[in-house]
A and B are shown apart, each in its own frame.
Chain A
Amino acid sequence: MPVLRGVTLALDRGESLALTGESGSGKSTLLHLVAGLDRADGGHILLDGEDVTGLDDRRRAALRRTKIGIVFQQFNLIPSLDVAANIAFQARLGGAVDKSRLDRLTVALGLEAHTRKYPEQLSGGQQQRVAIARTLAASPRLILADEPTGNLDEKTADEVMDQFLALVAETGAALLMVTHSPRLAGKLGRNIHLSQGRVA
């Protein structure tokens, strides 16, 4: 059974778009398709004018290393690496490490006291800040966020979200965020509601 049907949307540089919808409305699937983590049964996804739908695993993996950054709800840090290594991880995978940028992000997200710690030693908010720093450090053209603050309490969620949006705005990357919270969605430029796989 198709999860998404006839969804068309475009996102420009510097633009931010919130995808909202019920559980099972297909918003995560859309995100995964854009990230090249999953393959669509039909249709096209263009990134920087390039059609990524037909790319093989290798090319899509390369795309994820360089042009796309993902922030997960579960943070998904590498438990065996310390905070500093985690932040630098994706940037180093993509081969574009900017030491001053790493430092700046670390300070901006208030993580400078924790760089030698391991993920399991951090609070949820701190872990998500590390994940955000990891994504931004890689300088992606497109940032995908899947309920980035879904595992955090409301106060922390607001703090982290504000920091996140401010930093994204600085980079000029496009942001596509999935959330079920209308309040958070309101903080983004555009807003699309998905229902049963269609744009409502």
Chain B
Amino acid sequence: MNAKLRSLLLFFWLVGGGAALAQGFAGLGTDADGFAMPQPGYAFAFPQDHGAHPDFRIEWWYLTANLEGPDGTAYGLQWTLFRSGLKPGEAEGWGSPQVWFGHAAVTSATMHKAAERFGRGGTGQAGVTAAPFEAWIDDWRMAGDLLGSVQLSATGKDFAYDVTMRANGPFVFHGQDGYSVKSAAGQASHYYSQPFFEVEGTLTLPEGEVPVRGSAWLDREWSSQPLGENQSGWDWFSLSFASGDKLMGFRLRDETGGDFTSATWIEADGTATPYGDGALEATPLEVSRVAGRDVPTRWRVTLADRGLDVTVAALNSQAWMDLAVSYWEGSVVVSGSHDGRGYLEMTGYETP
């Protein structure tokens, strides 16, 4: 199967079917036949909720890390496992309607390497177990205690990494106790994070092994229709400031104008304050030509309530994930009212 075709087909799966292709990421807003819907007031139960929720259409285990080599070189690292249900529920063997795909990447100011894996549920090639916690596809895995120590590894044809992560803070729930609203019309997801990982490990690059240390942030999110009909993509920020505070914020772009923003301010002790639509402002300052399209790679991000007014700049403007489903994902440097580092994900920037 050629790569182009594969990307189209997977796109169909990701968005759950048919005619949504032309609408790009906005297709996520189609109706959810038979899939469960996120409910406000849902009581999270652990460790079960670390595992998969096959009654929901899509789900991810999304880890990003900002690292530093012995010579001070900044690195970014991504490890993601996506689950996409063709139908709700789970079955044994090839009969499983669950499709899994993994994305891994390593970024520095001068290079960006990405890899992907595909697999079907039911055979053991890919999946997630809650207790003991393990998320895997092929030889990629994230396993351990999400409040303790976690092993993380991935390989591609030109890179690999093995790191150990130690959590030194609690889980953080976004929105209203983990019920994160994504549009004015009420689309929502269940969303919690573990942003307090300290990381130590090794990157294997073509030029050799590089010992690295730094911090990581895990997002757990599941839903059946997180985007509104007119929403064409999102810009998602996870920023860690020198002060010890952290910010999760996203902007969902609307084709008809009027973007939807949401944020969570996380204090050093894990105290989280949610902010609804409009509190967070994210304005592109500069675009770069990436993979034949214009993508904003320098932003002004403000949250007036916290006195936040920072410039967020890509470590490597060319951090394009040229995979079956392609998007921009890379490490960022924060300066202004607060200094720090973070990660930025941008989807739905189509070629003109």
Verify whether A and B have any Cβ pair under 8 Å: no
Q: Which residues of A contact B (CB under 8 A)?
A: none
